[in-house]
Structure 1
Amino acid sequence: MSRKGNCLDNSPMENFFGILKQEIYYGKTFRSFNELKNCIEKYIKYYNEDRIKAKLGYLSPVDYRKLNAA
Structure 2
Amino acid sequence: MSRKGTPLDNAVIESFHSILKKETIYNNIIKTKHDMINLIHKWMNFKQTYRVEY
Above 0.5 in TM-score? yes
CA distance in 1, matches of 2:45, 2:13: 16
Q: Which runs of 5+ in 2 are unaligned?
A: none
Runs of 4+ aligned structure 1 residues displaced above 3 Å come to none
RMSD: 1.9
CA distance in 1, matches of 2:14, 2:46: 18
TM-score for the superposition, normalised by structure 2: 0.69
Q: How many residues align?
A: 52
Give matches, 1:1-70, under 5 Å: 2-5=1-4, 6-47=6-47, 49-52=48-51, 58=52
Q: Which runs of 5+ in 1 are unaligned?
A: 53-57, 60-70
Q: Percent identity?
A: 25
